[in-house]
Amino acid sequence: MKNDTLVSFEGVVKRFGDFVAVKRMDFEIGKGEFLALMGSSGCGKTTTLRMLAGLEAPSEGMIRLSGKPINDLPTWSRDTPMVWQSLALFPFLNVVENVEFALKMRGVGKAERRRRAEQWLDRMQISEFAGRNISQLSGGQRQRVALARSLVVEPEILLLDEPLSALDAALKVRMQSVLKNLQRETGITFVYVTHSQSEAFSMADRVVIMSRGQIEQIGTPQEIYRTPRTRFVADFLGSSNIFTGKVTASDDGGVVLDTASGPLRLKSDERHVVTPGQTATLTVLDTRTNLAVTKPDGPVNAIPVRMIGEEFIGATATIYLETGTGQEIRVQKSHEELAGIPLEIGQELFAWWAHTDGHLVTED
Amino acid sequence: MSDRDSASINRNRAVDLALKVYIVLGYAFVFAPIAASFVFSLNSDRFPSIPLGNFSLEWYQAVASDPLVWSGLRNTLLVGITVGVIATALGFGAAYTDYRYRFFGKQVYLALALIPPTIPVVILGLAMLAYLSRISLSGNALSVIIAHVVICAPFAMAIIRLRLSQMDPDLEAAAWNLGASEWAAMRHVIVPFTKPAIFGALFITMAVSFDEFAIAWFVSGLNETLPVKVLGFLQGQVSPRINAIGTFVFVTSMTLVILAQILLTGRGAQIRPAADE
């Protein structure tokens, strides 16, 4: 990822009547970056993408592309092609004519645009379908046509709005690697809207997590997964155990929370300075949470739990447990790591994790 | 046939048969008078009666040699084609406006646009006559064109609107996004997509104009269209020539309607040769 900025959102707000779709967006997209905008439906991610494409006008704020303000630039003069969720291929044109469309609109001559379109068909490995109608193609082939149609103008940036949502699981995974490779080879900036964590995390250099029109967290997939910054992100990713309690101590030695499951200790965090008396929320990854038969010693938090279920997916197992107050927590481990732990429903165990594995998150 | 039908297992043969008979009887009831008219147009007898006389084309010859019929046909065609083109253009504009824009009073706009065919034709004809004569436009082919556009445009709008409603709502925006200005998107996306409906509307509105009698009777003056001429024949004398004209008008209208049907049911819309500018 290079440092220079291609797109910047500066205090961008979008209202539809009384409804605020995007509250206030301030972020930048680097040149050649693969950025994912992730969130559940209605979080404003598609509106953000459409503002960048010029299909919606911001109510406030400024969007810049290569430093130039583009708020008032109509979409047809922007060079921000988009791959649509519906794909929006032209049904009355055949494959190669679909791909030629953008070149035709730019006044490229007939022979030249045919040549360039065929190059992209070749690159997307769909040359043999050039003369076919769209209705004769499979889902994956249509996907490739849509990509070729947008990329034929060789733009600096490509916008993708949940393009894989219509595909079946196996094809989805294949198209993910096609997209990732394409992005790497062309160096074109990809902005990818999705509600799917696996899509965002497997392809993107950086992920923007949105909720209710606001950015919750921006970071690499690793950063976000390891240290979710807000309660929303932790809940949304669903890979952390979450405890809320009153702060009883906060100093260089760490923070202590008095939770329903007892006092829990964690290291202090300059990003989340808390003072005794306030309420705070702690998260710990389910993969960093361990199980033991006897209460372990050392710099760890341990809480008594009762096993309520288990689930095996390939090499890992997810164990579901219940604390004394009825809160459900999860532990995710490989089978080797769980060796020696009696795994019976109703089994009394201790769930424990190192003090350094707990993180404070912002409650919203 | 019912073997191949996946729903056949849940169907009752007796009910199936009864429904088929019902359809045949229904169509027989509708088309019998027209068929009779066709049969008697080829019959040599002066009056329609059974048993039939000899096969004869004399009534067609009589019609073809009547200059008044030819002038009526010319008027009908001139009016029909002009009305078809204007009504389809207006209908397209109205349908696109409905598709593309959201605005205050849209329901009223739609209701008003679709009202003309629901007004009794006698009242519409009378109103047209009163209005057009006041602005000195009555009694010629132009007045028939104006009046027919009024009743035909809503049909065109309804047909084109239906087609637009089948369009992926992202399609036009996708064209803009790929560099097409609004006019270019109209020309390269909206019009090609709605083309079957545009031709369908063209044929249907022509057929409506072709058959329309009451309003034409009020406003046509000396430039009578064919249906008006037919009434003139009837008032003078009962002649089998009417059967001949009737058959001709029926065949023409049906041809237009069937063409429209073929276009609108998508067979023309789906499979098309690859290279097309």
Query: For B1-39, how does the pLDDT look when each residue is reduced to its tens digit (9 = 90+)?
Result: 444 555 567 778 888 899 999 999 999 999 998 888 888
In this complex, do B176 and A88 lie within 8 Å of one another by their Cβ atoms?
Answer: no
Query: For residues A205 and A33, is the Cβ–Cβ distance under 8 A?
Result: yes
In this complex, do A90 and B181 lie within 8 Å of one another by their Cβ atoms?
Answer: no
pLDDT above 90 coverage of chain B, percent: 34
In this complex, do A76 and B195 lie within 8 Å of one another by their Cβ atoms?
Answer: no
The average confidence (pLDDT) of chain B is 84
**pLDDT of B87 strictly over 80:** yes
Give the C-alpha separation, A48 to A59, whole Å: 12
Going by C-alpha positions, the residue among A44, A320, A303, A13 that lies closest to residue A195 is A44
Give the C-alpha separation, B173 to A148, whole Å: 18
Which residues of chain A make contact with B174, given a CB cutoff of 8 A?
Answer: 82, 84, 88, 90
CATH T-level fold of B65-270: MetI-like fold (1.10.3720)
What's the pLDDT at B39? 85
Distance from CA of A106 to the nearest CA of B (A): 7
What's the pLDDT at B1? 45
Q: Among B2-11, B78-87, B96-105, where is mean pLDDT lowest?
A: B2-11
Contacts of A63 (CB under 8 A, 6+ apart): A7, A8, A9, A10, A12, A51, A52, A69, A70, A71
What's the pLDDT at B277? 29
What's the pLDDT at B22? 96
What's the pLDDT at B6? 54
The encoded tokens of residue B164 equal: 């637009």
User: CA of A83: which chain B residue's CA is closest?
Assistant: B174
**pLDDT of B45 strictly over 90:** no
Domain boundaries, chain A: 5-226, 231-361
Distance from CA of B277 to the nearest CA of A (A): 9
Q: Which of B179, B192, B275 sits opposite A105 (nearest CB)?
A: B179
What's the pLDDT at A210? 94
Range B237-266 average pLDDT: 82
**pLDDT of B168 strictly over 60:** yes
Which residues of chain A make contact with B187, given a CB cutoff of 8 A?
Answer: none
A73 at B interface, C-beta within 8 A: no
User: CA of A108: which chain B residue's CA is closest?
Assistant: B179
Going by C-alpha positions, the residue among A135, A129, A187, A181 that lies closest to residue A158 is A187
Q: Which of B177, B184, B193 sits opposite A82 (nearest CB)?
A: B177
A67 at B interface, C-beta within 8 A: no
**pLDDT of B78 strictly over 80:** yes
Can you tell me the ipTM of this complex? 0.84
User: CA of A149: which chain B residue's CA is closest?
Assistant: B178
Q: How confident is the model at residue B266 (pLDDT cuts 50, 70, 90)?
A: low
Looking at residue A35, the DSSP 8-state letter turns out to be E
**pLDDT of B156 strictly over 70:** yes
What's the pLDDT at A364? 67
DSSP string, B186-210: IIIIIHHHHHHHHHHHHHHHHHHHH
What's the pLDDT at B5? 53
Looking at residue B42, the DSSP 8-state letter turns out to be T
Going by C-alpha positions, the residue among B91, B160, B101, B191 that lies closest to residue A90 is B191
Q: Which of B176, B179, B189 sits opposite A106 (nearest CB)?
A: B179
The total number of residues written for chain A in this structure: 364
**Single pTM value for the model:** 0.80
What's the pLDDT at B63? 80
The total number of residues written for chain B in this structure: 277
| Intervals of chain A under pLDDT 50 | 1-2
User: CA of A88: which chain B residue's CA is closest?
Assistant: B171
Question: Which CATH number applies to A5-226?
Answer: 3.40.50.300
Give the C-alpha separation, B219 to A268, whole Å: 91
Distance from CA of B80 to the nearest CA of A (A): 29
Which residues of chain A make contact with B175, given a CB cutoff of 8 A?
Answer: 90, 101, 105
CATH architecture of A231-361: Beta Barrel (2.40)
User: CA of B193: which chain A residue's CA is closest?
Assistant: A92
What's the pLDDT at A3? 56
Q: How many CB pairs under 8 A join A and B?
A: 77
**Same topology for domains A5-226 and A231-361, yes or no?**
no
A90 at B interface, C-beta within 8 A: yes
Looking at residue B169, the DSSP 8-state letter turns out to be T
What's the pLDDT at B33? 86
Give the C-alpha separation, A289 to A295, whole Å: 14
**pLDDT of B267 strictly over 90:** no
A19's enclosing H/E stretch is: strand A19-30
Range B263-273 average pLDDT: 55
Q: Which of B184, B192, B276 sits opposite A105 (nearest CB)?
A: B184
User: What is chain B's alpha carbon radius of gyration, rounded to the nearest angstrom?
Assistant: 23
Q: Give the relative orientation of helices B226-236 and B67-100 as an angle to the nearest 10 degrees.
A: 140
Whole-angstrom CA distances from B131 to A78, A216, B75, B124, B128 are 51, 66, 22, 10, 5
Q: Which of B170, B179, B192 sits opposite A88 (nearest CB)?
A: B170
The dihedral of CA B51, B53, B55, B58: what is its sign?
A: negative
